[in-house]
Amino acid sequence: MERNQTLNTIFDRASYRGRYKDEPVPREDMKLILKAGLAAPSGCNRQTTSLVAVDEPALLEEIRRIFPKPSCQTAPALILVFTQKIASIDGRFYHVQDYGAAIENMLLAMKSLGYDTCWYEGNVRSCANELAALMGAPEETELVCVLPVGKAAEELHRVSKKAFEERAWFNGYGR
Amino acid sequence: MERNQTLNTIFDRASYRGRYKDEPVPREDMKLILKAGLAAPSGCNRQTTSLVAVDEPALLEEIRRIFPKPSCQTAPALILVFTQKIASIDGRFYHVQDYGAAIENMLLAMKSLGYDTCWYEGNVRSCANELAALMGAPEETELVCVLPVGKAAEELHRVSKKAFEERAWFNGYGR
């Protein structure tokens, strides 16, 4: 079977933590990236994920002060991912799965448009409330992730991963 | 900005719950779909997601008996998604985000190769242990999702979603 662009995007994507080029991200591209995030499925279609894109220089500066991750210092735009814990029909919560899928869609949309990014989640926890307040987000939402958006100015470094045979099999676990 | 195939795949994907055509899925395609799942990022690169593809007729029959979802009755192949709760560097768990991203990659890989599927998670819970035992999965793993794989024999029905303006904004929540 031949590969296609979607598969190439999936296989070429890698987390980028370097500097970004000083080039603004056009609003048209940002909107496509946000729409890609919103196009992800969600448990019982609860659509628990919401997004704020930031490209205003003064606001970017404030975020960079609160969340001083090196690669966010040079990124010309950021996307802040919010979730809302809404119960599904079965009473369970699928909001983490929902934003996981939405973020993955945005990572791929960015890659396909020539941008690189990194999924910052654990690092965001300590300043999530401050960033959410700055955005004017309602109390029932939670800021869970920050994604830089921009053109990479450095090379991508790929993490090494386990072999296929250690994580996937046919017709039985570990076969 | 022009759309590209990756974006089209993201926007065209929808959950499919109908019947499948009686056409086997070539192993080459199955491997690409599994590889796409494993190519997703994971918190601290813990690679908590593992996958079992099923295409043996007798094993498919057993799964269909345990998990009698209509669309799985006709799908010529299934992918079972397993997770493992491994702590990240910060002591927190990101395994749900990890498999959310891995599943989304597989949904998109399938779509790009002409297959349709549906993310079955909530429905799987009540029979997850039985299915995991049938697969010979180790105790430290948990079966979280079943994905049918095949060519749709019926039309795709798209769920309606909130407008972009209700879920995404620039430079401030709800602006």
pTM above 0.90, yes or no: yes
Q: Which CATH number fits domain B17-151: 1.10.3720.10, 2.40.30.160, 3.40.50.2300, 3.40.109.10?
A: 3.40.109.10
Contact B161 A38 (CB under 8 A): yes
Query: What is the structure's pLDDT at A107?
Result: 98
CB < 8 Å to A141, chain B? 173
Q: How close B116 comes to chain A (CA, Å)? A: 13
CB < 8 Å to A138, chain B? 173-174
Contact B41 A15 (CB under 8 A): yes
Listed in sequence order, the residues at least 6 apart from A60 whose beta carbon sits closer than 8 Å to its beta carbon are A54, A76, A77, A78
CB A66 within 8 Å of CB A53: no
Contact B41 A107 (CB under 8 A): yes
C-alpha separations of A51 from A30, A54, A84, A102 in Å: 11, 10, 11, 10
Contact A105 B10 (CB under 8 A): yes
Query: What is the structure's pLDDT at A121?
Result: 97
Q: Give the pairing of strands A77-84 and A49-54.
A: antiparallel
Query: What is the structure's pLDDT at B3?
Result: 80
Contact A107 B138 (CB under 8 A): no
Contact A164 B111 (CB under 8 A): no
SS3 labels along chain B: CCCCHHHHHHHHCCCCCCCECCCCCCHHHHHHHHHHHHCCCCHHHCCCEEEEEECCHHHHHHHHHHCCCHHHHHCCEEEEEEEECCECCCCCECHHHHHHHHHHHHHHHHHHCCCECCCECHHHHHHHHHHHHHHCCCCCEEEEEEEEEECECCCCCCCCCCCHHHCEEECCCCC
Contact B167 A38 (CB under 8 A): yes
Q: How far apart are CA A42 and CA A102, in angstroms?
A: 9
- Interface residue of A1, A3, A8, A10 to substitute, partner B, most B CBs within 10 Å: A10
Residues of chain A with pLDDT under 50: 1
Query: What is the structure's pLDDT at A2?
Result: 56
* CATH class of the structural domain A23-153: alpha beta
Phi, psi angles (nearest 5°) of residue B82: -115, 150
Q: How many CB atoms lie within 10 A of CB A137?
A: 22
CB < 8 Å to B43, chain A? 121-122
CB B11 within 8 Å of CB B80: no
Measured between CA atoms, the residue of chain A closest to residue B171 is: A54
Q: How far apart are CA A153 and CA B149, in angstroms?
A: 39
Query: What is the structure's pLDDT at A3?
Result: 80
- In DSSP terms, which residues pair with A150 in a beta bridge? A116
Residues of chain B with pLDDT under 70: 1-2
Q: How close A141 comes to chain B (CA, Å)? A: 10
Helix, strand or coil, per DSSP, at residue A121: coil
CB < 8 Å to B170, chain A? 27, 30, 52-56
Q: How close B105 comes to chain A (CA, Å)? A: 7
